[in-house]
Amino acid sequence: MKHRRHAAVATAAALALAALLPGPVHADARAAGVDPNTPAGVRPNGGSTHQTLVFSDEFYGTSLDTAKWSSVDAKRRDGQYFDHWWKPSNVKVNPNPNSINGGNLWISLSQLSATEYATGEIEGRGKFDFTFGTVEWRAQMPPNHDLFGALWMMPPGGISGVDGTSRDGGEYDVIESTSASDSYGNTIHYDGYGADHKASSVNVSAPGLHSGYHTYTVEWRPDRMIFRYDGTVVRDITDPKLISQVPMFPVISSEAAEWAAGSIFDAPLDYRSNMYVDYIRVWQ
């Protein structure tokens, strides 16, 4: 009896103590890849069937989030008049949301030599990819002067498979702002980049493209891909051969190429030649 009485007293004391202690700390309901600076309840501009935010980057802080992105260090292309590189030093994050273009990703233009220029690219390769979902970027494209901004997606396994479709992986260029007019290219590359290469491309009318920020959105379903500019549908794909069925990762880049509008030799080597990205968000 004595031992049972002591056990009962101990149990009662433990229960009383437990009542005074705070309950278990519950993890944030948001996915691990969601930036804590992303406002609660945000939805894609123009709507989407995908409801759950699974990834975002608002580009606050003092440096690129290397858990989400890799910054490419590579020669991009040789040209007749100049060569172009992607350099990590051309990718910066401005943490001050109250400054001009603050709280954003900055991709700058620099001159490496008389005929060599550098911009930057970041990609989610090996860090984040997804199959089906809605991705939205809010960005300001760089000016002309042979510069163009690109927001795109790629499959981790590349696009070298040749089957007459992009179902096994394609390069999806949501925007390439190569024109001097208020328009941009939206292109799907597939079946490799060699003799079997195929592409499906449209020219998108984009009012105000070269002034300020705009949203670029793609709603990717198993049987449909809907592209939007500032919430307005600009391309709607239902052809099964053009709809990827494999994972893709997001890419953000500013590039220089002689076939883009303008001349790089006229480009100012300061903030005026930057590409700015306010955020990227992905829902599933």
Task: Break the chain into its structural domains and give their ranges.
Answer: 32-283
As beta bridge partners, residue 281 has 56, 136
The token duo for 88 is: 């990590």
Q: In angstroms, what CA-CA distances link 109 with 13, 127, 253? A: 68, 26, 11
pLDDT attached to residue 99: 67
Report the largest interatomic distance among the alpha carbons of the chain, rounded to a whole angstrom. 97
pLDDT attached to residue 94: 84
- pLDDT tens across 79-127, in order? 999 999 999 999 999 866 666 666 899 999 999 999 999 999 999 999 9
| Distance between CA atoms of residues 284 and 282, nearest Å | 7
How many Cα neighbours within 13 Å face the side chain of 200? Answer: 18
CA nearest neighbour of 163 among 248, 250, 242, 247: 242
| Distance between CA atoms of residues 215 and 136, nearest Å | 7
Residue 266 φ then ψ, to 5°:
-95, -5
pLDDT attached to residue 23: 39
| Distance between CA atoms of residues 153 and 185, nearest Å | 14
As beta bridge partners, residue 255 has 148
Sites in the chain below the pLDDT cut of 50: 1-28
pLDDT attached to residue 138: 97
pTM to 2 decimal places: 0.88
pLDDT attached to residue 90: 97
pLDDT attached to residue 100: 60
Alpha helices in the chain (DSSP H): 2-20
| Distance between CA atoms of residues 214 and 164, nearest Å | 33
CA nearest neighbour of 210 among 259, 258, 251, 261: 261
* 32-283 has CATH 3.40.640.10 classification: no
| Distance between CA atoms of residues 228 and 215, nearest Å | 8
